[in-house]
A and B are shown apart, each in its own frame.
Chain A
Amino acid sequence: DVKVTQSSRYLVKRTGEKVFLECVQDMDHENMFWYRQDPGLGLRLIYFSYDVKMKEKGDIPEGYSVSREKKERFSLILESASTNQTSMYLCASRASGGAFFGEQFFGPGTRLTVL
């Protein structure tokens, strides 16, 4: 059974703290993604990675950074958390396949609250 796991389901942090959200997939997928989900806005792409040590900015990268040191792990970092980063964060992975464009597999999400 394919699996994307995220380190925490719920997280509460204080303004200014450095926050790490971890995502691990066991499907040997090349591509990994971080989204945030807010009511009325759907899912918005923060960053994605198509290979180890490679990263690309998505639509809303400001205030975030990422790290991909191993194929199975993709970390999202909030350098200095702010209240407007309170949100649900979703990680996903997808295989590469040329003409075959597969679906993304999602983790359960981390609901982050910044006080």
Chain B
Amino acid sequence: AQKVTQAQTEISVVEKEDVTLDCVYETRDTTYYLFWYKQPPSGELVFLIRRNSFDEQNEISGRYSWNFQKSTSSFNFTITASQVVDSAVYFCALSEAWGNNDMRFGAGTRLTVKP
């Protein structure tokens, strides 16, 4: 069975600080996909990144970076030089390629960036 754990319920930082959001997953499949979504106060989930299980390269997109480590079943998300607009709930999610095609979400981490 697939499972995603986001142990950090809430994080509060001051603007310009770096912050890392943790995500640990469980799956029996060798082929799977990991995702991060952002949910701003408006409520609509915004897709940030998808990573398949065969691609362990870390990725950087502007101030965002992702660290995928299969050895520890983790897919952590770092925001560098955080800004107030980064305040949102962030969800990590997992889909097994040969399962029901559904997606398992973590409980989410609420990030508050204070000016």
Listed in ascending order, the chain A residues whose CB lies under 8 Å from chain B are: 31, 33, 35, 40-45, 48, 50, 56, 58, 88, 90, 92, 94, 96, 99, 101-109, 111
Q: Is the CB of B50 within 8 A of A103?
A: yes
| Chain B interface extent, by class | 20 to 34
Q: How far is the CB of B109 from chain A (nearest CB, A)?
A: 10
Q: Which residues of B contact A (CB under 8 A)?
A: 4, 6, 9, 33, 35, 37, 42-45, 47, 50, 52, 91, 93, 95, 97, 100-103, 105-108
A41/B107 in contact, CB under 8 A: yes
9 A–B pairs (Cβ distance < 8 Å), ordered by A: A41-B107, A42-B6, A42-B108, A48-B102, A50-B101, A56-B100, A103-B50, A104-B103, A105-B47
In the complex, which residues of chain B have a beta carbon less than 8 angstroms from the beta carbon of A101? 33, 50, 52, 95, 97, 101
Q: B42 near A108 (CB under 8 angstroms)?
A: yes
Chain A binding surface, main DSSP class: strand
- CB distance B45 to A42 under 8 Å? no
Chain A residue, CB-CB nearest to B47 = A103
* Closest residue on chain B to residue A9 by CB atoms: B43
Residues of A within 8 A of B4 (CB): 42
CB distance from A17 to the nearest CB of B (A): 23
Tell me the bound Cα distance from A9 to B85 in angstroms: 23
Pairs of residues from A and B, 8 with the lowest C-beta to C-beta distance, nearest first: A106-B45, A42-B107, A43-B105, A42-B105, A103-B47, A109-B43, A108-B44, A101-B33
Known: A43-B91, A56-B100, A101-B97. A90 touches B105 (CB 8 A): no
